[in-house]
Amino acid sequence: MTKVIKNRILSQLHFLKSIGYEYHESVKAFNKEIVEDSLPNDINSLEQIVNNCYLCELSKSRKNVLFSYGNTVADIMFLIDEPTTSEDELNSFYVGKAGEQLAKMIENVLPLKKEDVYITSLVKCKSYNGFESTHFNSCSSYLYKQIDLVKPKLIVTLGDKAYQFLCKDKTPFYQIRGKLMNFKNYDVLPTYSPGFLLRNPSFKKEAFLDMLKIKSILESN
């Protein structure tokens, strides 16, 4: 979208407002990146803003906005790169084969119920033409605000994209997987994504060891 078109849309919105039309409060919607300080300090209000987000092209193809699932005061946050097709269609995390795999990883090892942890994604809408950095740039402030509101003791990134985009670290995934890393004073542990494990079951033993390490970290805090 060109700057001229953006200005035309903004002018039209101002005109409609001047003659009595109402629309949800703007959060600098014509910026590629939202200023984090402009977002509310309440998780429910933040979710309402995200549900009405049209900052990037994913809003045109999504079926649903997936903000999060689980305990908003959880000690542990699981972070995926984007919702799966099944999650987008059914408007819920933990659905489809990948979702079921993640639920088993949590409930069989930690042990916690999936409702006890907090899960979200880098971007809140499913991409159908490939995940791009521009999508994350538009959505990143939502994620950073979520993290600061939940304040997890540990963030578990699932897959290389989730870690690399969150921490802005291009270190080869095999070198940092299972190691305790850092993001804005939050502990981060990267491990395999459920989808990867379904395609490569030989790596499940390594993922199991990562989950045992996660359990140990939670018990020591």
For residues 101 and 18, membership in a common domain is answered with: no
Q: Is the pTM of this model over 0.85?
A: no
Same domain, residue pair 108 and 53: yes
Instruction: Give yes or no for residue 35 having a pLDDT over 90.
Output: no
Q: Are residues 15 and 66 in the same domain?
A: no
Q: Is the pLDDT of residue 61 over 90?
A: no
Residues facing residue 154 across a β-bridge: 76, 187
Nearest alpha carbon to residue 70 among 118, 106, 108, 128: 118
* Judgement on whether residues 53 and 115 belong to the same structural domain of the protein: yes
Q: Are residues 36 and 68 in the same domain?
A: yes
| CA atoms within a 13 Å half-sphere pointing along the CA-CB vector of 119 | 22
Provide the CATH number for the domain around residue 44.
3.40.470.10
The structural domain count of the chain equals 2
Give residue 50's domain range: 31-220
The verdict on 46 and 9 lying in the same domain is no
Q: Tell me: the pLDDT tens digits for 149-177?
A: 999 999 999 999 999 999 999 999 999 99
Same domain, 16 and 37: no
Distance CA 139, CA 79 (A): 14
